[in-house]
Amino acid sequence: MNGPGADPIYQFLKAEQPRATPFSSRSGGTPSGNVSWNYEKFLVGRDGRPAKRFKSAFDPLDFETDVRLLLARHPVTPDECAMHPGRIVCKADFDDLPAAIDFSQA
């Protein structure tokens, strides 16, 4: 997934989403866009475009809002919402979004 022999899908994903959320200038990050650890997650919209990238330790349940937004063809929340979900820009209008996903039935 990294280096000159990286699979084309990873090259595409990393080019479209070069850094993982949550990101802070103090944490450094991977300026080259390389995947830093297993289980890094890429959220891809219905159009096939990567919309967001999450660090491996980020719980998928914590980005349910972004999944619901993409399913309704809306833009995802700003990256800052991963660390500060209470900000006004992080509040999604759920009137036309799909119902919450019930993972207990999986």
pLDDT one-digit tens code per residue, 39-70: 899 999 988 999 999 999 888 888 888 998 88
Does residue 95 form part of some domain? yes
In the three-class reduction of DSSP (H, G, I as helix; E, B as strand; rest coil), residue 102 is classed as coil
Does residue 52 form part of some domain? yes
What is the total count of domains within the chain?
Answer: 1
Does residue 60 form part of some domain? yes
Does residue 105 form part of some domain? no
Does residue 15 form part of some domain? yes
- Higher-confidence residue of 97 and 88: namely 88
Does residue 3 form part of some domain? no
List of residues 6+ apart from 11 with CB closer than 8 A: none
Does residue 83 form part of some domain? yes
pTM: 0.75
Please tell me the distance from the alpha carbon of residue 80 to that of residue 54, in angstroms, as a whole number: 12
Please tell me the distance from the alpha carbon of residue 66 to that of residue 54, in angstroms, as a whole number: 11
Domain range for residue 79? 8-25+37-99
| DSSP H or E stretch at residue 42 | strand 41-44
Please tell me the distance from the alpha carbon of residue 1 to that of residue 42, in angstroms, as a whole number: 13
The two tokens of residue 13 are 């994903």
pLDDT one-digit tens code per residue, 10-25: 999 999 999 898 865 5
